[in-house]
Amino acid sequence: MESVETVLTWSEAMVDALRELATSTWGSEIEVLEPSPERFPRGIPGSYIALVGDHFNFEFGVAALWGGCESLAKKLLFMEDDDVLDEPEVADAMNEIANMIGGGVKRRMSEFDAGLKLGLPTFFEGPITPTSEQDSSYAAVVVEGVTAYLVALKHRAHSQS
Amino acid sequence: MKILVTDDSKAMRMIVMRHVRQAGFDDAEFCEAGNGLEGLEQVRQENPDLILCDWNMPEMDGHAFLKALRSEGFDTPFGFVTSESTPDMIALARGSGAMFLIAKPFTVEVFRDTLNAAGVS
């Protein structure tokens, strides 16, 4: 395991949290693709949630092309492929996936920061641009046949205070 | 049995109700609320037999909802269904009077075992 100070460690916790979600909810495994920032498409929709503590400050996101978001939402709701969901329903389901992943990261990492608090998720479509004060990590995974992208943004200044 | 499901996610409310039915409570009636304030109103109107509640919600979170319920004199059995599952949060839930905490993500078996262990029938 890398140092807890590195964003990669938290990104790995995120992947583990998604793995737990896939196993317990769908009885399936996820496939982790080679990490590469170039693999993360700019501007795709996703749900993001903050995890803020005494020593660490993060945003975590789960993103996919729109069809992938729809598919994950239907999987979460145990719906058929030809069932119809409207945009708010897809956003709601994606928010819940982000919420469960965020909770999983918090549980895995709380020993390093007992003050971690989970925020409320937000779904939006647009490019993610880390600031000069943020470290970022991206992981591409295949879950239930959908290629999804896990994003971790770590606020550097907060962690050094 | 009437069960109040309180969660700001409509998707999660549907999933919880599905899991409760599959856990052996297929004749349960459900009412729903999107946050603690709505939950309080539902309890006053519907007098449910059990409350299943998320922790992090806008307006009034699950912990504040539980405290408000008890301060109004309602002793309705209460369980959290939440992504908050650190030992500190579980201890806080127990200390506030929650019967159990089911961590998301969950399975039907977890619901069945937890509800049975809590004496819900």
Question: What are the tens digits of pLDDT across the range A25-57?
Answer: 999 999 999 766 667 788 999 999 999 999 999
pLDDT tens-digit map of A68-107:
999 999 999 999 999 999 999 999 999 999 999 999 999 9
User: Is there a domain that residue B120 lies in?
Assistant: no
pLDDT tens-digit map of A1-19:
568 788 889 999 999 999 9
CATH of the domain at A106: 3.40.1550.10
User: Is there a domain that residue A161 lies in?
Assistant: no
Closest residue of A to B110, CA-based? Answer: A24
B84 in Cβ contact with A103 (< 8 Å):
yes
Q: How far apart are CA B97 and CA B75, in angstroms?
A: 9
CATH of the domain at B16: 3.40.50.2300
Minimal C-alpha gap between B48 and chain A (Å): 25
Domain count for chain A: 1
User: Is there a domain that residue A82 lies in?
Assistant: yes
Domain count for chain B: 1
Minimal C-alpha gap between B57 and chain A (Å): 7
User: Is there a domain that residue A146 lies in?
Assistant: yes
In the predicted model, what is the mean pLDDT of residues A116-138?
A: 92
The reply to whether A95 touches chain B by the CB within 8 Å rule is yes
Q: How far apart are CA A127 and CA B95, in angstroms?
A: 43
Q: What is the pLDDT of residue B2?
A: 97
- What was the ipTM of the complex prediction? 0.92
In the predicted model, what is the mean pLDDT of residues A130-150?
A: 92
The reply to whether A61 touches chain B by the CB within 8 Å rule is no
User: Is there a domain that residue B119 lies in?
Assistant: no
Looking at residue A89, its amino acid is E
Q: Which domain holds residue A73?
A: 2-155
- SS3 per-residue string spanning chain B: CEEEEECCCHHHHHHHHHHHHHCCCCCCEEEEECCHHHHHHHHHHHCCCEEEECCCCCCCCHHHHHHHHHHCCCCCCEEEEECCCCHHHHHHHHHCCCCEEEECCCCHHHHHHHHHHCCCC
Contact B9 A100 (CB under 8 A): no
Q: Which domain holds residue B83?
A: 2-114
The reply to whether B8 touches chain A by the CB within 8 Å rule is yes
In the predicted model, what is the mean pLDDT of residues B86-105?
A: 95
At residue A160 the predicted structure's pLDDT band, cuts being 50, 70 and 90, is: very low
The answer, yes or no, to whether residue A148 has pLDDT greater than 90, is yes
Give the mean pLDDT of chain A. 91
Minimal C-alpha gap between A134 and chain B (Å): 25
At residue A161 the predicted structure's pLDDT band, cuts being 50, 70 and 90, is: very low
Minimal C-alpha gap between B47 and chain A (Å): 28
User: Is there a domain that residue A160 lies in?
Assistant: no
Q: What percent of chain B has pLDDT over 70?
A: 100
DSSP A151: E
Nearest by CB to residue A76, choosing from B11, B82, B106, is B11
Which residues in chain B are closer than 8 Å to A25, comparing Cβ atoms? 105, 107
User: Is there a domain that residue A101 lies in?
Assistant: yes
